[in-house]
Amino acid sequence: MKKNQLYKAIQKKWEKKNGDHNFLKNKNLKIKLHQPTFGVDEIAAFTEQMITTNVTMGKEVERFEDNYSNYLKTKYSVSSNSGSSANLLMIAALCNPYNKDKLNFGDEVIIPALTWSTTMFPLTQYGLKPVFVDCDLKTLNIDLNKIEDAIGPKTRAIFIVHIYGNPCDMTGIISICKKYNLLLIEDSCESMGAYFNKSPVGSFGLMSSFSFYFSHHITCMEGGITVTKDKSLFESMKMIRSHGWIRNIKNKAKWKKMSPNIDPKFLFVNEGYNLRLTEPQAVMASIQLKKLDMFVEKRRRAATYYKKKFKEFEGDFFYQDETKNSYHSWFGFPITIKNRKIKSKALCDYLNRNGIETRTVVSGNLAKQPVTKLYPNRVSGKLENVNYIMNNSFSIGCHQDITYDEIDYVYMKIKRFLKKTL
């Protein structure tokens, strides 16, 4: 089958399967939290790459990494099989015995209590101690005013998370890092396409991670990437990503000298994993990257429309405040209840019954999850804000495919619920 014929065949099947996404016309559909961003272009490119049989990590992965570095205006990018793996690579590189300023067993790393589990897990896997800090009630990001209280004699780093695409106050965080000589790491998995002071999120820290999971701003089904300007960390991550092997690094000479009697084709110098992205995923991701700015703009328009429609509910709810001097990329649309008569579970159950998907904001208070009892950690303060968010907040879809008609429908259902409840 020729390339053009393949494209047309895929297009025909796609239109048959996904032709009518109009919720108001098709009541079997749901207003989803997330809608995958890929379509015929990505499926065709993926299929074409499969046909070549060149599927394991190679030139297309390298090309995508270069494209991502150019987009983010950073020097080095290391792709991986997930955003979780991207976080793992960062911490593994920082704990690498070859790293002159490495993190050591028992060192503390400050993280927000409002985050996903994969911010914490790489820390505990390498014997580091997470220190949970409360969130700001309005921005949902780590509370800048509570970070210094959490710093102790063993604190070595701050691992920030830009919650739901809302950039943290990087001016304040960088100032704290400089004051206490702390490493800055960014979890940017929910915030692709966001900016702070006109600089892209993920360009501030020593390293930063991004996710290409199907629900994120762009996708290659599964996948992630870690960026850095540090050459040594870059080479460490490339080895760790692929079995601790030197095969994929450019500077092999120094490693060969260390072990001249071992075949350099099979020389393992580091602890490692198999975290590699595939070639079909890479070509898919390259197409997606070109569409990222468009996707983010659509999400921003949807969020603006939500806030306009929901203005009459401001006595009952409040919504995520955009950080000053930032450009929010809206991973979802979080809503926090301030009227005590409204119960979050009752409202979410009602919305779900009416075809509107809802979810907890990130994972709620991660410090309360059972897994934290298994590993050393420290809680700074009472975490009052994140506890409130956990009990009184939820999020709804704010993706690139949501329509104004669907948002009108959400508005109408919430209004009807409030009329019955209050």
In a domain, 17, yes or no: no
In a domain, 145, yes or no: yes
Please tell me what DSSP assigns to residue 101. T
pLDDT along the chain (422 residues), means of 10: 77 76 63 89 93 95 97 96 98 93 96 97 98 98 98 98 98 98 98 97 97 95 96 95 90 87 90 96 97 97 98 96 97 97 97 96 96 97 97 97 95 96 90
Tell me, yes or no, if 216 is annotated catalytic. yes
Token pair, residue 105, equals: 């067993």
Query: Are 329 and 381 contained in the same domain?
Result: yes
Query: Are 353 and 249 contained in the same domain?
Result: no
Q: What is the pLDDT of residue 283?
A: 97
Where are the alpha helices (H) located in 164-211, listed in sequence order? 170-180
Domain span including residue 340 = 293-421
* Residue (of 117, 65, 62) closest to 228 by Cα position: 65
Query: Are 300 and 277 contained in the same domain?
Result: no
Residue 346, domain CATH: 3.90.1150.10
* Residue (of 117, 47, 58, 64) closest to 224 by Cα position: 64
d(CA 419, CA 361): 25
Query: Are 209 and 329 contained in the same domain?
Result: no
Q: What is the pLDDT of residue 26?
A: 60
Q: Which residue has the tokens 């299929």?
A: 47
Final residue of a structural domain among 234, 263, 284: 284
In a domain, 8, yes or no: no
Number of domains making up the chain: 2
The residue from 34, 162, 216, 243 that is catalytic is: 216
Final residue of a structural domain among 284, 310, 343: 284
Q: What is the pLDDT of residue 68?
A: 97
Token pair, residue 66, equals: 């270069």
DSSP labels for 309-373?
A: HGGGGTTTEEEPPPPTTEE---SSEEEEE--TTS-HHHHHHHHHHTTB--B-SBTBBGGGSGGGG
Query: Are 303 and 217 contained in the same domain?
Result: no
Contact 196, 204 (CB under 8 A): yes
Residue 212, domain CATH: 3.40.640.10
Final residue of a structural domain among 223, 255, 284: 284
Q: What is the pLDDT of residue 20?
A: 59
Q: What is the pLDDT of residue 6?
A: 82
Query: Are 305 and 409 contained in the same domain?
Result: yes
d(CA 328, CA 162): 10
d(CA 33, CA 400): 11
Contact 394, 361 (CB under 8 A): yes
